[in-house]
Each structure stands twice: as C-alpha cells, then as structure tokens.
Structure 1
Amino acid sequence: MAVALRVLGVDPGLTRCGIGVVDVAADRSARLVHVGVVRTSPDLPTAERLHLIAQGLRAVVSEHRPGVVAVERVFAQQNRSTVMGTAQASGIALLVAAEHSLPTATHTPSEVKAAITGYGSAEKLQVQTMVARILRLPELPQPADAADALAIALCHAWRGGAVASDAAGPGAEALTPAQRAWRAAERSTRR
C-alpha cells in the first residue's frame, strides 16, 4: 500500500484518551499502525492527569511520526464536568501536535459517524464494526475510545486529509458545509 497520509486520531478524555494511528492511501484503503488508550486515575490532580495524557501522546508521536493530528471536537454535552475534562484533554492533544509542528484538525462526533458508517447518529457498536471492517481487523477495537480514535483518523483522511487554514482558503472545497461553518466561526473569534 502506497501511503498517502499517516493520521493520529485522538478521542479526548480525562479518564480514557483514545489514540489511533492509521496509514491511508490515495485510494482510501487504510492500515492500522497503532491503537491504544491513555488512562488516568480520577484520584490524581487534574494537572497530573493532563501531564500523563501529554506523555502518552508524545510517545505515540515520537514512535509513529504522523503527518497530521485529528481530534474529536468537543461538542455540547449535558455533563459540565465531562465537557471540561474532554476540552482539557483536547487542548493537550493540540499542544502536543504544535510541539511537533504537526497540522491539526477537529471533527464533530456526527461528522466522524457519517464518514465511517454513512449515518451521523450511528451507535458506538456500528462505528466499531465499520472501523474493524475498514482496517481488516479480526475483532472489534476495544475499548470504544480506541475505536473512536481510529474512526476520527479515518474520517480526517477521507474528508480531504489536508487542513485548510481558513473557511475560504486553499482546500476549503474538500470540506463539508459543517466544517466550513466551523472554520469560519473559529476565524471570527481570532479577530
């Protein structure tokens, strides 16, 4: 398989941070490179937990040398403490990417589900099943956080792979309408 892109996908979480690395060819065929989860204990101070997540991500980046880091975008959730932990872990993933001069992208859960299963409201088992099928794995990737990280990486590669610098800039034609809207909103907050 001629590799077009190596993507590190991150499913951010403070207790379990899913990490998946895939090689994706121009014909959209994909191969598993690495999958895992960085776990932290809720008994540790938040700063220590974030440090452990950063260490885990740095180790994966150093060993597998991805070309881009794709992170699940923190989206509206009911539980504020869960959103905070997810946002903090997401920030760590983006920081580690910046430390290694890697481009980054974020994708919403519904974008990822739609890219992998064709249905933006797919159940976790459907996503796991499709990830296993796409990567030709003998069993479903476990835990779900690891499968989600692989799905995020595949989604990014299949949705253009490149990171557009703004909503109307180069590569914008490869973005979905939702991605263009997010980029435009992000750009307006930087002014």
Structure 2
Amino acid sequence: MRILGIDPGSIVCGYGVIESINKKLTLIEYGVVEAKKLHHELPRRLETIFERLSSVIDRALPDVAALEAIFFAKNAQSLAKLAHARGVAMLSATLKQVPVSEYSAKEVKRSVTGNGNASKEQVQYMVRTMLNIEETPDFFDATDALAVAICHALKSDIPHAKAKSWKQFIEQNPQKVVKKIK
C-alpha cells in the first residue's frame, strides 16, 4: 500500500510518501510546500498547497492519504488558517479519488515513538531511523508528514485488497454475515 502522509499548514505544509508491503516500510519521497515564501495572501497560499499536493499525488499515485487531525489552538485565527489548509489537503486527495484517514498528534507520536507526548526531535529521529533517511530534513513538517504515513501503515491491518462495495465485502467475508435480510 502506498501512503501519502500530510502535515497540513498554511505557511509550511509537509508531505511524505511511503510504501508499506507486509509491514516493511520504504521511503518514496518527502518534502514541504513553503507556501508563505511564495505568497503572503492566504487564498494564494492555499492555491499553492492544492497545486503542489495534487502534483505529488499525480506523481506518487498513493492508495490512501493520512492527515494529522486538527488540534486545539490558543489563537482562533491560526486555527482557522490551519483548518483551511487541512481542507485544501483533503480536497486535493479526494478529487484524485484517494481516500483520506485522520490521526491525532498523540496517536501519531505513540505509533512512531511509543510515547504520545514525544518531542518533534524524537519523532524526527524515529522517522529517520525507520525509513533510513541519512540527512536531517530542513523542516519538522516533512518528518511529521512521514510519521502520519507510518502511523497509518502500522494501524492498517486490513488486507490490501479491500472491498469496493457491501456486496463485494460480503462475498469476501461470508463468515461475518450474521443474518441475511430478504
């Protein structure tokens, strides 16, 4: 399964793509969209994030996208901007028919480090170790995005060939049918 992890942000948006085959993780690509460096106005930054993530999806062809769920922010304006960036990230995946999963920051940290309160440095260290990344990425956003992808891979114990409809699910899992309705 190919997973696109996204750490949404309206200033810097991190992304990372990994392949998970039989719980073996392989790095495909990672990076950041430095939206504020290109544009100061929020609508233009959101457009840039949308275009760059759409390009990553076209290039990497992920089976699923995983995003960090929204967290509580002290500043309502920052929270609103983050929500916009998350919406754009979700839209870029959804328009390309890529399903989206969400994980809390604690869940991601616990999956990658074993500690739900791990620091960004600890998460980055574990991500680099798990994916054999030699260089230290310039932004935590990139390794945070990879951590979200790793979290999805580790939590995804569902077989790769998923049912596309209820009928297909029932055909693949007859033992789960309790009672047929006529």
Could you state the TM-score of these two structures normalised by the residue count of structure 1?
Answer: 0.79
User: Residue 146 of structure 1 corresponds to which residue in structure 2?
Assistant: 142
- Percent identity reads 36
Is the Cα–Cα contact under 8 Å of residues 67 and 101 in structure 2 kept in the other structure? yes
Cα-to-partner distance string for 1:137-167 (whole Å, 9 max, x where unaligned): 113333100000000001011111669xxxx
Name the counterpart of 2:43.
47
Distance across 2 between alignment mates of 1:135 and 1:62: 22
Is 1:68–2:30 an aligned residue pair?
A: no
Between 135-144 and 53-62, report the one with greater CA deviation: 135-144
Return 5+ residue gaps in structure 1 as ranges: 164-169, 171-191
Cα 1:158–1:32 shift into 2, 3 Å: same
- State the secondary structure of the residue aligned to 1:102: coil
Inter-partner Cα distance in structure 2 for 1:102 and 1:136 = 27
Partner of 2:44, secondary structure, is: helix
- Count residues with an aligned counterpart: 161
Unaligned 5+ residue runs, structure 2? 163-168, 170-182
- Residue 37 of structure 1 corresponds to which residue in structure 2? 32
Aligned to 1:21: 17
What residue in structure 1 maps to residue 81 of structure 2?
85
Runs of 4+ in 1 over 4 A off after TM superposition: none
Amino acid at match of 2:4: L
Determine which of 114, 117, 120 is the counterpart of 2:116: 120
SS of the residue aligned with 1:41?
Answer: helix
**Structure ID, larger Rg:** 2
| Equivalent position SS for 2:74 | coil
2-structure distance, mates of 1:18, 1:86: 13
Q: Is the 8 A contact 2:54 2:92 kept in 1?
A: yes
The amino acid that maps onto 1:109 is A
2:147 is equivalent to residue 156 of structure 1: no
Give the distance between the partners of 2:28 and 2:77, measured in 1 at CA.
32
Cα shift at 1:44: 2.4
Query: What's the TM-score once normalised by structure 2's chain length?
Result: 0.83
Deviations along 1:9-68, one digit per CA (max 9) or x if unpaired, are 000000000010011121x22111111101112762211111000000011000010000
1:59-101 CA deviation, whole Å, 9 max, x = no partner?
Answer: 1000010000101111112122221121111101111111111
| Cα pair 2:30 2:146 within 8 Å, conserved | yes
1:60–1:24 CA distance, 2 compared to 1 (3 A): same
Question: Which residue number corresponds to residue 183 of structure 1?
Answer: none
Quote the Cα distance in structure 1 between the aligned partners of 2:136 and 2:99: 29
CA RMSD of aligned residues (A): 2.0
Task: Give the whole-Å Cα distance in 1 for the aligned partners of 2:15 and 2:51.
Answer: 12
